[in-house]
Chains A and B, each alone.
Chain A
């Protein structure tokens, strides 16, 4: 600041000019990067240019999605939902899809309204935060079809397809698998924030480990979560990967050799910590969450024993297709192991390393859960 003010010193002025020019260039290039990033994501996904506005010609059905503030590349529920949208489009050439990203919680309403004005065939909203806005819009526009991810209504709405996932079930399978795979007798999980959609996984994981211990008389310990007290480790963010790395390092130093992050992008920090530990000769691996990690974070596939997923993708795809094909019914949908709405992802590179006996046991546990013989209690029911 002082330098900038020194106008009488001709010698210094030049320097300040340079400085500002440099700062300007820097800001521009970073701004451009942001622009490229988002625009690229958009262009790649929807495949339509700005012309979309002027050419509703060929398409007979428009599927619309309002994302939460994370946007469609959050590697989490927004990304999965958008994946479902594009799959619906791929399945039926009469369908086009587009999305609006919410800048903040107060843009849910205008975004939904913008799509209502555009007469979308179905409007998909993502996340419980949009529950109220979606409900209000559905009441005001009873003929408009909606779907919402991760939220249910009591009583259900005829024009909202509420999609929730009982991830305590596959979380349970994950816990059982982890307990079967650990060498150190310690496994760990942590959450991004203490939200029901997060802790339901952790409850399942905890129960799964405990069930394994009961069956096999082992004493595998779970770090980072206690179902009974509902206390554990949370990073407080779904985006800051450094925090995931830190917390994972701590778990590893405490002896855990399988980490289960339930924290969206923060999990990438865990993957980095696991990779570092692996490079240093440690035998640490992890699970991915929500989506199949070998697809969404393929660079770390060799560390993913499996992924504890929920089928947002196929549920959204089905909702869009049903609306397009006139089979839409609305109401609440709960994804379970039984209907394939939640499941453990394939083992990929670990197929040979997971013992066949363990795989067989997992199959039996899965059937037990499906038939209600093995209870999967949770304090965060869907």
Chain B
């Protein structure tokens, strides 16, 4: 099926979300729609799926002009959509979810379960989806839930499949699996409109690329274009994919962690004897595959998880069993892994979120009385300084894009004097422009004399920021290496290949400033 958009324009008040957009999707291709958060991708998809009516322009399907007044029209025309957030009923089975709304029935209106299961099984087999029609959706991992959504679209005869940021919720393995499925679908003659802001993914899977910026189509580079070319087109200026930084000038040891043992909520030992020292003015990158105790390490440092054994000190002050408030008071700034759950109150205004952990300090309050004027003043300053793009300081944080939410948290945590900055996955899910911004800020914070700990499962980020890299595996630090270590070496460490490699000695282990043997914890 061929899909053409001609001059599609959508305005919201004075804002033009889509400005005369032309788009051609040929049968059997994967067409990537690349753009930063807020470039108008989602609006365009909503137009295409009948959720919004365009102010101007037209849509053609197989050369025929169509008007989608509702998603039903779009579905009837063979367009299917997989939203970023799934629309599944958790307590129903896969088969029940898939047929919801168009249930095959037997006489007397009874649900024909067998037929429903059969259809799901067929599709699953044909495209290698490995879905059990009888599984309950609430028990399925996110990646499989996404495949259920795909089946839902397919069973409604979708020829064009819109995938809205499908990889945002997936692990790297799940992403690879999705790409395989996308190629299978392509091979069967279907078209896929793949919305993303991740350059690597677009390069990996797309046949055609359309870049959107501020509501306009700004180019259609070949997928073989380089990162830098795509990023420049997307952001509208040259982007430093790797932040520039001077060599570190480490000062005194500020953060000391010694023999730390932490159990997670289920009682399992998650951090198993970690010892670290971080100096003022240096960035320690903690690398590792997710789920190897990094999150628990951060929480324990912040007083959010109780410490089983060991010691934590900041600037010589023992904070092992201190409350979170005391840790914050000791000058630790914290950028949590999950910004929406731990970093923000989404229903609160930008201004309120900017004082979320300093509301009880001067000048934002005196005694128990809040000073809303001071809070607002500070918010305006922060918004300008940290380039937080929001309607005003009064809008709820949930209306902000992910990048701006993260900038808000960064602004809050870096707007006060920090001795230690602890950042867990500081740029996950952000577009390149925001990543660049956050990285620059973190480096600036280092240069201002903070001891910085960055936890990340993205090697790019680890390399971009770290002055030293500590690798975590199964709750232990299995090596501390310089950032010159090749990615393959690092990859092996992260996979737990320490017992042998640790003994052999890692390249570049010598010559690290302030490096101490005790920091290497062979498994």
Contact = CB atoms under 8 A, between A and B. Distances in A.
Touch A–B, Cβ below 8 Å? yes
Interface in A1-45: 2-3, 6, 8-12, 14-15
Interface in B88-106: 89, 100-102
Contacts of A9: 71, 87, 101
B180 interface: no
B72 interface: yes
Contacts of B72: 10
Interface of B: 51, 70-72, 83, 87, 89, 100-102
Nearest to A6: B87
A10 B87 contact: no
16 contacts: A2-B89, A6-B87, A8-B51, A8-B71, A8-B83, A9-B71, A9-B101, A10-B70, A10-B71, A10-B72, A10-B101, A11-B101, A11-B102, A12-B100, A12-B101, A15-B101
Contacts of B101: 9-12, 14-15
Contacts of B102: 11
B132 to A, nearest CB: 23
B306 to A, nearest CB: 34
Contacts, number: 22
Contacts of B71: 8-10
A3 B100 contact: no
A6 B101 CA distance: 13
A6 B72 CA distance: 14
Nearest to A8: B51
Interface in A193-252: none
Contacts of B70: 10
Interface residues of A, number: 10
B118 to A, nearest CB: 20
Most buried by B among A2, A9, A11, A12: A11
A10 to B, nearest CB: 5
A50 to B, nearest CB: 46
A10 B69 CA distance: 12
Nearest to B81: A8
A12 B100 CA distance: 8
A9 B97 CA distance: 12
Nearest to B83: A8
A152 B100 CA distance: 68
Most buried by A among B70, B72, B89, B101: B101
Contacts of B51: 8
A6 B88 CA distance: 10
A2 B85 CA distance: 12
Contacts of A10: 70-72, 101
A1 to B, nearest CB: 12
Most buried by B among A9, A14, A15: A9
Contacts of A15: 101
B310 to A, nearest CB: 42
A10 B89 CA distance: 14
Contacts of A14: 101
A14 B89 CA distance: 15
The 3 A-B pairs of least Cβ separation, nearest first, read A11-B101, A9-B87, A10-B71
Given A3-B89, A8-B71, A11-B100, 18 more contacts: A2-B89, A6-B87, A8-B51, A8-B83, A8-B87, A9-B87, A9-B101, A10-B70, A10-B71, A10-B72, A10-B101, A11-B101, A11-B102, A12-B87, A12-B100, A12-B101, A14-B101, A15-B101
Contacts of A11: 100-102
A2 B87 CA distance: 9
B152 to A, nearest CB: 10
A3 B100 CA distance: 12
A72 B146 CA distance: 61
B517 to A, nearest CB: 54
